[in-house]
Structure 1
Amino acid sequence: MDNLTENQGISEIGQSLTDKIKQRQALEDAYSNFVEPYLNQRIEVKLESSCSVAVSPVGFYYASAWLLLVMLYAFLRRGYHR
């Protein structure tokens, strides 16, 4: 009788694992069939609709000059404190 209950317990565990595997597979299928295409559609980036605002060369030169000036100042300050 004890052997019969052990077999039932093993059978129930096996059934439980099979059910869990089936549930996991169903969730994965639901994700790949419904969620993933929706997310891909929402995230899709169109190359034609990229930002068309050009960086002004004057602004680029101004920012570059300012950065160069700050770096020169930092280099000189470092040299004088040694």
Structure 2
Amino acid sequence: MAQRLSIQLRSLGCDTPPSDFRKDLVAIKEELFPDWSDEALSYTRDEADRYCQAVCLRVGVKLPRDFILRQLNNVRKRSCTTLL
């Protein structure tokens, strides 16, 4: 069973609330890659790395790349926000 995002974030040392984290994921993608889908971004190496570094800077914690990209994908899949 998947853990709640709040628990996952805390276990990774991130105090950002899940709703803010999701908003940050979308905002950073729109800032850096406005014409790309989250799926296309996840298939790249350099661009995905740049995106993940920007997310880590925003939240102030080094988070695993696969975690960040999976959460970005989840925003779209679960319609957590209308920004994607």
Length-normalised TM-score, structure 1? 0.23
| Higher RCO (C-alpha under 8 Å, 6+ residues apart) | 2
Q: Return the index of the structure with the highest Cα Rg.
A: 1
Q: Which has the larger helix fraction?
A: 1
